[in-house]
Amino acid sequence: VSASLFSGTVQAATLDEIKARGYISTASEDDFRPFVFVQNGKPTGFEHELLDELSKYAPFKVNRDIIPWTGMLAALAAGKYDAAVTGTIMTEDRLKAYDFVTPISSATHFFVRRAGDNSLQSVADLSGKTLGVQAGSAQLARLPELKALLAQTGGTLGKVVEYPSTPEIYADLANGRLDYMINSIIGAQSVVKERPKVFALGQPVSGAGYHGWMVAKGNTDLLIYLSGFIAQMRTSGRLGELQNKWF
């Protein structure tokens, strides 16, 4: 299995083409804990363990490239990769442009605050505060839900600052440039668990959502195959084991 930065010239392929050439080309992002991240120069996280399982399950090799989130969807749409393997959250716009494999986890959004900032206890307390979100993310796309929640309490959405990556958001939250940030429950719990003296978990700011892998729109056979793999992982209990380990 290869893991590199922007390596290789590959084309999105059908399942038959993947079997014929002997490998599937996948892209994972570089830092979205606990789904995917690089540690000591090696890709790790929930998704990479799932890819290890896919390597055992599939009759072809699993090639992996590690690329920034900001370029992932464009690379998938352009046919550079056969699948985007990360904690991508399903949204209406994404469902129009891509096909999602069977979900791997829930993705309700929560706000995260600094551990020492007790002024932000509820959604109502977020009114007028400065928020950090990742550019092009589901968190950004679903901000109207937070805006509606704030309106119910007479509040308004404050300044929204977009960032290229999640780690940059956490850095600015920690140093006080932001009042809060938004992440899916799994990502939020992960960072709070790792740095409990720095960050604290707030309340939900969206309805239910789901994480899943993506393939090009209309690549039906590959979609069915990968969904079958996830179903097998669930039936065997291995998916639950990995969820318990990482989430």
| pLDDT score of 175 | 97
Sign of CA dihedral 19, 13, 213, 31: positive
Q: Is the pLDDT of residue 85 over 50?
A: yes
Work out the pLDDT band at 137, boundaries 50, 70, 90.
Answer: confident
| pLDDT score of 155 | 97
| pLDDT score of 66 | 92
Q: Is the pLDDT of residue 8 over 50?
A: no
Query: Helix, strand, coil shares of the chain as percentages rounded to 5?
Result: 40, 25, 35
Of 18, 32, 181, 208, nearest in space to 103 by CA: 208
- Angle, helices 220-236/238-246, rounded to nearest 10 degrees: 80
Residues contacting 68, CB < 8 A, separation 6+: 29, 30, 164, 165
| pLDDT score of 60 | 97
Instruction: Give the tokens for residue 67.
Output: 């690329």
| pLDDT score of 31 | 83
Nearest-angstrom CA–CA distance, 12 and 79: 4
What average pLDDT does this structure show over 31-59?
Answer: 92
| pLDDT score of 11 | 55
| pLDDT score of 6 | 38
| pLDDT score of 208 | 84
Bridge partners, 211 (sequence order): 89, 105
- The rounded percent of the chain whose pLDDT value lies above 90 is 74
Nearest-angstrom CA–CA distance, 107 and 114: 21
Q: Is the pLDDT of residue 70 over 90?
A: no
What average pLDDT does this structure show over 85-105?
Answer: 91
What average pLDDT does this structure show over 33-62?
Answer: 93
Q: Is the pLDDT of residue 108 over 70?
A: yes
What average pLDDT does this structure show over 209-234?
Answer: 95
Work out the pLDDT band at 69, boundaries 50, 70, 90.
Answer: confident
Nearest-angstrom CA–CA distance, 91 and 104: 15
| pLDDT score of 9 | 46
What average pLDDT does this structure show over 163-173?
Answer: 94
| pLDDT score of 37 | 86
Q: Is the pLDDT of residue 207 over 90?
A: no
Classified as helix, coil or strand, 163 is strand
Mean pLDDT over the full length of the chain: 91
Instruction: Give the tokens for residue 135.
Output: 């550019």
Q: Is the pLDDT of residue 165 over 70?
A: yes
Sign of CA dihedral 60, 61, 66, 71: negative
Nearest-angstrom CA–CA distance, 71 and 49: 23
- The rounded percent of the chain whose pLDDT value lies above 70 is 96
| pLDDT score of 1 | 41
133 within 8 A of 168, measured Cβ to Cβ:
no
What average pLDDT does this structure show over 76-100?
Answer: 92
| pLDDT score of 21 | 96
